[in-house]
């Protein structure tokens, strides 16, 4: 759409003016179409200066996650090479599945301003209020068997920490396996789902959905999660521009995807350094039991090694159990 292309070009120029004619040439559209796009952007709240003989300059704009804001910063990335930016959707993961079934390419990223049916692990709901958080899903089609992909979600946790650190200067910790935590409270959840070819048992697609609480005030969380949830704005004491955060997260996912699975040593090292679960007593929870144990370490397959009071040691896989701190969420 011309509006997204014009916005992207204006963003690329930074503080510089660009003439209507140069835009029309660069984008292959008429000058009238450039003018129409500029007017439409102004209607949406963008402040675009115009000066005779110099052209247009973008001064400021709303923090809306859209293609025109992201395509420039993501040039050259495989993850984010295709973008679908929505106003509303049931769940970006569910939309990614629909897109995958319809043949969408490797690297498609779907973002939405809100989700009406955001999903978390274990069938839980993920609250996704409009314009507050970052709700995005990457659709990937790695040419791999399903087995090496089992620890992918732990790699994603590291990549999201990298992206948040690049955008905001703070690095969340990781609660095994893939909740991101700031100040002892949940900041981000990740839900990775696989699509398998029934007959051949090969991997058809992998979708990884990331939900980050960005500009939520405490009252934006439902009462039951308020005591254990935080947002970047709450932790930093200032609002965060979601478009910039989205670009850094997708760039970090792209770097991670390029290194998967050969770069395991690097991601394991970062995961271990950031994991707040190890070295603490925990509760190991299955659908039918709850046992106390000590979280010893993360093994080479991102499993959590726990030791029970009777001396038994087990390596836990994410799908089987969840782990809680002894005295609360972490
Ligand atoms: C969890 O904490 O249990 C995982 C939450 C994952 C939420 C994200 S938001 C984007 C994507 N779409 C969804 O419906 N879920 C994931």
**Structural domains in the chain plus CATH codes:** 2-60 (1.10.10.10), 67-274 (3.30.930.10), 281-325 (2.30.30.100)
List the alpha helices (DSSP H) in the chain.
2-13, 20-27, 31-43, 67-70, 92-101, 152-168, 232-236, 242-259, 264-274
Residue 152 has pLDDT above 80, yes or no: yes
327 pLDDT band, cuts 50/70/90, is: low
pLDDT in tens, 59-106: 999 999 999 999 999 999 999 999 999 999 999 999 999 999 999 999
pLDDT in tens, 181-213: 999 999 999 999 999 987 777 899 999 999 999
Residue 293 has pLDDT above 70, yes or no: yes
What is the position in ligand 1's atom list of the atom closest to the CA of 112? 10
> Does 164 sit in the ligand 1 pocket, CB within 6 Å?
no
- Distance between Cα 265 and ligand 1 center (Å): 27
- Distance between Cα 53 and ligand 1 center (Å): 49
pLDDT in tens, 244-280: 999 999 999 999 999 999 999 999 999 999 999 999 9
> Does 55 sit in the ligand 1 pocket, CB within 6 Å?
no
CA distance 174 to 169: 16
φ/ψ region of 28 (left if φ > 0, alpha if ψ in -120 to 50, else beta) reads left
> Does 64 sit in the ligand 1 pocket, CB within 6 Å?
no
- Distance between Cα 192 and ligand 1 center (Å): 9
| Residue in 303, 298, 208, 213 with CA at minimum distance from that of residue 254 | 208
Q: How does 273-311 read in b/e, with b if 16+ C-beta sit within 10 Å?
A: ebbbbbeeebbbeeeeeeeebbbbebeeebbbbbeeeee
- What percent of the chain is modeled with pLDDT above 90? 87
Provide the pLDDT for residue 318: 79
> Do 212 and 232 touch, CB atoms closer than 8 A?
yes
Provide the pLDDT for residue 326: 64
CA distance 209 to 120: 9
The whole-number average pLDDT for the span 118-125 is: 92
Residue 157 has pLDDT above 70, yes or no: yes
Element (H, E) at 45: none
CA distance 46 to 24: 20
Residue bearing the bigger pLDDT, 329 or 215: 215
> Do 142 and 156 touch, CB atoms closer than 8 A?
no
> Does 209 sit in the ligand 1 pocket, CB within 6 Å?
yes
List the alpha helices (DSSP H) in 169-286.
232-236, 242-259, 264-274
Query: ω into residue 261 within 30 of 0, thus cis?
Result: yes
Task: Please list the residues that pair with 49 across neighbouring strands.
Answer: 57
- Distance between Cα 306 and ligand 1 center (Å): 27
Structure tokens at 10: 């204006």
Residue 162 has pLDDT above 90, yes or no: yes
pLDDT in tens, 27-63: 999 999 999 999 999 999 999 999 999 999 999 999 9
Residue 313 has pLDDT above 70, yes or no: yes
What is the position in ligand 1's atom list of the atom closest to the CA of 115? 14
> For a substitution probing ligand 1, which of 99, 109, 117, 118 has the most ligand atoms within 8 Å of its CB?
118
């Amino acid at each position: 759409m011309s509006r997204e292309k014009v916005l992207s070009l204006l963003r690329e120029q930074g503080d510089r003016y660009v003439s209507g004619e140069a835009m029309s040439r660069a984008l292959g559209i008429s000058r009238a179409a450039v003018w129409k796009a500029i007017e439409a952007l102004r209607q949406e709240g963008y402040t675009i200066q115009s000066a005779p003989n110099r052209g247009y300059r973008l001064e400021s704009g709303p923090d809306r996650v859209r293609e025109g804001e992201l395509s420039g910063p993501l040039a050259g990335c495989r993850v984010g090479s295709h973008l679908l930016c929505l106003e509303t959707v049931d769940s970006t993961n569910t939309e990614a599945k629909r897109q995958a079934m319809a043949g969408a390419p490797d690297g498609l990223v779907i973002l939405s301003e809100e989700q009406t049916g955001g999903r978390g692990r274990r069938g839980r709901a993920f609250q996704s209020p409009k314009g507050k958080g970052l709700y995005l899903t990457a659709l990937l089609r790695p040419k791999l068997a399903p087995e090496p992909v089992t620890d992918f979600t732990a790699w994603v946790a590291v990549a999201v920490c990298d992206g948040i650190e690049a955008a905001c200067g703070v690095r969340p910790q990781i609660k095994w396996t893939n909740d991101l935590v700031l100040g002892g409270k949940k900041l981000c959840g990740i839900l990775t789902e696989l699509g398998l070819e029934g007959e051949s048992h090969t991997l058809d697609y992998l979708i990884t959905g990331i939900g980050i609480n960005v500009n939520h005030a405490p009252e934006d969380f439902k009462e039951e999660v308020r005591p254990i949830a935080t947002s970047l704005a709450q932790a930093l004491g200032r609002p965060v521009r979601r478009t910039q955060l989205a670009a850094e997260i997708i760039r970090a996912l792209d770097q991670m995807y390029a290194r998967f699975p050969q770069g395991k040593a690097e991601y394991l090292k970062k995961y271990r350094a950031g994991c707040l679960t190890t070295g603490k007593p925990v509760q190991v929870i299955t659908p039918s039991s709850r046992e106390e144990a000590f979280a010893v370490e993360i093994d080479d397959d991102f499993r959590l090694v726990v030791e029970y009071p009777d001396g038994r040691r087990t390596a836990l896989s994410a799908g089987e159990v969840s782990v809680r701190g002894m005295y609360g969420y972490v």
